[in-house]
Amino acid sequence: MIQGGREEDSRNRERFAYDPSELDAVVLSHGHIDHCGRLPLLVKRGYAGRIYTHAATADLIRVMLQDAARLAEADIEQQNRQRERRGLDPLEPLYELGDVEEVLRRLVPLEYDRRMTLLPGIDLRLQDAGHILGAAIVEIWVDEGRGERKLVFSGDIGPDGTPIMRDATPISDADLVLMESTYGDRLHRPRGETIREIGEVLDAARASGGNVIIPAFAVGRSQELLYWFARYYEEWGLKRWNIYIDSPMASKVVEVYRRHQQLFDHDGH
């Protein structure tokens, strides 16, 4: 956008469709950046309340949001060097590390399957969504004096049999359901086919003297891959390979997983 002969960065003016200062509470389902990534901006724009989430998610978003803020800062610095050469005003990041720290100070860590009063007339409970560490299905009961009604927000629900994670907790009743639907129009192929393909790729690379590079999400996918490498270590001949996690964030997330092993599905996987 050009105003008054100067280029204006719309990100510096980004607003919510509501006044963040009027919110009473925020409930976070899980730590993937598409769910938590705007929390620092929410705080920066005036939200002053608490943020309720599972204890493991509280640990994860510290890693996620600090990384996002550092990347944004580095990106803005690079852009501003180019803008300075063009005689344009410098840009500011949507949020900075200080905004992330403010989010972290507002976190209220919760556990699964414990109903608590969120606000007068509003109760909250988190149930295991079987997605990533700390991911939750959100149950909210509202009583405005005309009888209690129940809202359920699914969040992202993991498929049954996901390694490390427990299966999602079934929810038996609700008056209203809000559901994620990213993959609502497709079926995932059986996990066994994916596992066989990994083994075949490793065999082919070993036969040709090559390397294998696996792009993977730092939260969830990287930890699942490590699980499969450990489980099929002998079968896939991994003692002949050097395995590296080339991601500081993924390594930090592994430590968060290590601290919350009580959430693992020890019996099922």
pLDDT above 70 coverage of the chain, percent: 92
The ranges of the chain with pLDDT < 70 are 1-14, 183-184, 267-269
Q: Evaluate whether 134 touches 53 at the Cβ level (below 8 Å).
A: yes
Q: What is the DSSP letter of 264?
A: B
pLDDT in tens, 77-129: 899 999 988 999 998 888 899 999 999 999 999 999 999 999 999 999 999 99
- In the 3-class helix/strand/coil scheme, how is 117-172 assigned residue by residue? EEECCEEEEEEECCCCCCCEEEEEEEECCCCEEEEEECCCCCCCCCCCECCCCCCC
- For residues 98, 99, 101 and 107, what is the CA-based torsion angle, rounded to 10 degrees? 170
Distance between CA atoms of residues 221 and 264, nearest Å: 15
Note the pTM of the prediction, 2 decimals. Answer: 0.85
The tokens for 144 are 């405005």
Distance of CA 247 to the CA centre of its chain: 16
pLDDT of residue 4: 36
